[in-house]
Structure formats: C-alpha cells, structure tokens
Amino acid sequence: MSTAFRLTGITATDHVFRVPLDHAAPEGEQIEVYAREVVASGREREDLPWLLFLQGGPGGKAGRPLGRDGWLTRALDDYRVLLLDQRGTGRSTPATRQTLARRGGPQQQADYLAHFRADSIVRDAELIRRTLLGQDRRWSLLGQSFGGFCTLTYLSLAPEGLREAFVTGGLAGLRSSAEDVYRAAYPRVARKNEEHYARFPQDVAAVRRIAAHLAERPAVLPDGGLLTVRAFQSLGLLLGAGTGSYTLHYLLEEAWVEGVDGPELSDAFLSGAQAQLSFAQGPLYAVLHESIYGQRSVDKGATNWAAERVRREFPEFDAERALAAPDQPVLFTGEMILPWMFETDPALRPLAETAQLLAERTDWPDLYDPERLAANQVPVVAAVYHDDMYVDTADSLATARAVRNVRTWVTNEWEHDGLRVSGGAVLDRLIRMARGEA
C-alpha cells in the first residue's frame, strides 16, 4: 500500500515492498524495502521515464527531500524518481545493534548480513522495477559512490532492466581487492592532509595539541563513546568533501575552553566530533564496509581488516611517531573502517563479534562480471572526480576502459559530494552527455 504527500514543488509517494532475504530462496524469509517516489508537482499523471537513485554507503539511506531541491531540481525536469532505502537502512527493515540482537548470536547475525551486499540490492531493485513498471519496461539509474558500485553489479546481473546509467564518483575497480583499495587510498588521504594544512597552517599546532592531550587522557563523548587519538584522526573522513576541510578547521577552532582545572576539550568540540564519528545513523557502513570489495575470484582470502593491515605500510599516519618529532603534522585518516571502532563507538560495540566474523569470511561471491561488462550495451556516463579521496581515480578510469559503452567526465571542479552540492549541475552535465549534447 502506498501513501502520497506534497512538499514544495514535488509530490512524494511512499512504497513498501516485500522481498526475499535471500533471492536464491524466494520462498524463504521476507524483509521490507522502502522507496519514495518523487515527481514534479503537476506532472503526477504524466507517463514519465523512471530514474532509480542508489545512495552511497554501504548502509546509507536515500536522502530525504525538502522539496524540489539539490540534484532533484534537474532530475525532475525529465524523470519520475525513486529514492531507494537500500535493504537494512532507513525505513527498510533495519539492521542495527537493536534489531540484529533479535536474530541470535554473532554467527546468526553475520549470516544474515551476508545478504546485504550489492548483489542483493540489485535483485531487490529488479523485483521493484517489475512491480512498478512491468516486466518489459526499463528504467534509468543514478548511482552515487557505492551506488555506482551497485550500478556495475546491475550491469553484470540484470542489464536488461536498464535503459541508461549515470554514475557519480562510483566506478569501482573490477579486480581490486580490499588491500589494493586501501594501498591506493592512504597516499590520496595524505595528499588531502597536505592540502588542508596548506590552507590552514595553524591547524598543525592545533591538531598536535589535541592529539597529545588525547594520548594522555582519551575523552568521553556525550553518547558514551571514547575519543582516542586514532578516533580523532578518523575525522579526516571529512577531507574528501568539497567543504570538508573548512568544516574540520571550524571544529578545531572551538576545541578548548578554560575549565576549573585549566584547559579542557569543550563540549561543543566533543559534540561536533561525535556527530562526525558516530555510526548510530548507519552502522552497516562500518559492519559491511570491507565486504563490498570481497570477490572470491579476485582474492580467495578474507578481507580481514585490510585497512588496518595496510596502514602499517604508511608510518606517516602514526600519531605517536608524529608527536615525537618537533612540528610534525599529525595526519588524519580517511574512509577506513578499523577494528578499534567497534570498541569506541556505542552503536558498534554489540556488533564487534559479528563484524569480526564478516571480516574472516572467505566465500564472498563475485559482484562484477568482466566479460558481460566488456560487452555492455547500456549507455553509461560517469563523473570521475580528479584525485577523489574515496574512490581511486586510476581504478575508475581502468573500469571505464574495461566496460563497453561508458563515457567519462573527469573533473576537478567538484569533490566526491559533487552530486549533492552542485544544485543539479553535475547531473545536468551527465544527462547532456547521454544525449550527445556535451
């Protein structure tokens, strides 16, 4: 059953679909997947082409529109848009510390979550397409970041469902293991640190002061989480967004207040750090993060906390080493999920054993079919962000060469969040490319 409501410039309709937990066992356990249909006001009855949006992540719910805003401004000129809460997120059957506890112990939870990768998301989408559009009508697809990874899986598993695909910051390496991904990522993150400190040289001393303090006395966050030096370094996740460096700088500016016993970290700083570091809004991002790179034909071993293992190859990220040298910048890390996060974050602590079992798993099915992609007939246009901190540009361009019918737009005008912050400009460029107008 669906319900509709109006916001400024749009009509939104809620949809809830029942899908199999395991699409290989369609008569088995069912879960719910939620999606919001959005159409421009006054065009509700028009036979518009559909555009499915797959959000970044993993574990990210679709954005909540406030009206005709952001990239929807451009999309709604031509499409009826479906914003999908990928399984386990948002209003779909949730997968969190609270709900997973009902499934039993860590092994039962890990077995359940093994069905929450891109292949299952694509099969959910195909079931939804057939329900909404009918068996033979195809839709367009917009994949942001991890949503782009899912797009490549869609083209591998069910290209017959797609008429065209737009990808923003999400052309994954088809044959890249988790280790490959992080080995390429740490140098990119180091460059983002260099850019930040060049922009705000005063932050070198500010970060060193905070790190030295936390090394002696880790701070308790308002939610009971623990701000250690390594947790503080992980604020570098911000540096891959267009305004992330500024956000980080302004957070550091308010780090200290004068308390009864002298300088102490301010409540404003601790609250701001918690807002960036807590996984309460999206625990699957942490629990499933490295599994999105698991493919048994690429690496027969487990992902096994690849980001933590590879970090040892880059001693410049060692805060203790940096603090031991005069004026040495303490480097922030980036989009790395590390095992200690399941100790410091209250939203993740109950899932530590589950995450460990997923990290040890060695039988992840392949997500991409290189041969099928090499023969792809679906038009694909992709924005590739120059020196993207989250998705390796070299991997993206190699994939663009390996997948037939792909056109790329390589740009340094936007960072990884270009789709969200460009007011529709990024999507407009891709649509014009698909039509041969750019």
Given the residues 145, 176, 234, 245, the one annotated as active site: 145
Residue 67 CA to residue 335 CA, distance in Å, equals 30
Which long-range contacts link 211-214 to residues 24+ away (Cβ below 8 Å)? 211/319, 211/322, 211/323, 211/330, 212/323, 213/265
Tell me the two tokens of residue 256. Answer: 């200290």
Given the residues 416, 417, 422, 428, the one annotated as active site: 416
Neighbour-count burial for 298-337, b at 16+ CB within 10 Å, e otherwise:
bbeebbbbbbbebbeebeebbbeebeeeeeebbbbbbbbb
Residue 37 CA to residue 15 CA, distance in Å, equals 7
CB 265 within 8 A of CB 256: yes
Given the residues 136, 261, 327, 363, the one annotated as active site: 363
Specify whether 145 is catalytic: yes
Tell me the two tokens of residue 95. Answer: 């997968």
CB 225 within 8 A of CB 346: yes
- Strands of the sheet containing 3-7, edge to edge, are 3-7, 10-20, 30-40, 80-85, 50-54, 139-144, 162-168, 380-385, 406-411
Residue 159 CA to residue 152 CA, distance in Å, equals 9
Tell me 42's DSSP state. T
CB 343 within 8 A of CB 337: no
Residue 118 CA to residue 23 CA, distance in Å, equals 12
CA 220 vs CA 10, 211, 259, 345: distances in Å: 43, 14, 16, 11
Tell me the two tokens of residue 110. Answer: 């890990």
Residue 210 CA to residue 330 CA, distance in Å, equals 10
CB-based contacts of 275, cutoff 8 Å, min separation 6 = none
Specify whether 363 is catalytic: yes
Q: Is 151 helix (H, G, I), strand (E, B) or coil?
A: helix
CB 88 within 8 A of CB 100: no
Among the listed residues 173, 142, 162, 154, the one whose alpha carbon sits nearest the alpha carbon of residue 420 = 142
Active site residues: 145, 363, 416
